[in-house]
Amino acid sequence: MQTNKNAQCKKCLNKFYQKEIYTIQQFQYKEKPKYKWTLSFFKKLQIDEWDSFCEECIMRYSKKLDDAWHNQKSQVL
């Protein structure tokens, strides 16, 4: 069992266990938006697909992604 919290969230800088790492790569399994659009969105936020985040911060980014996708979609309609 891992006892050291040696991974660090890029956003909040909290330490956590490596097995609890979240990255934006996990968004590739969402149906919408497409992963290419997701990568472009996060690039604007200076986030790389291999940056590490804690669960709380990745959930915030997930909401930001969904909000941006819905706003962009409604502007086209």
Identity of the residue numbered 38: T
Integer Cα distance of 30 and 70 in angstroms = 14
Q: Is residue 38 part of a domain?
A: yes
Count: domains in the chain: 1
Structural domain of residue 43, as residue ranges? 7-76
Place of tokens 């590739």: 28
pLDDT of residue 19: 84
Q: Are 50 and 25 in contact (CB under 8 A)?
A: yes
Q: Is residue 2 part of a domain?
A: no
pLDDT in tens, the chain (77 residues): 555 678 899 999 989 888 889 999 999 998 899 999 999 999 999 999 999 999 999 999 999 999 999 998 766 54
pTM above 0.85, yes or no: no
φ and ψ of 32, to 5 deg: -140, 140
Non-local (6+) Cβ contacts of 25 within 8 A are 49, 50
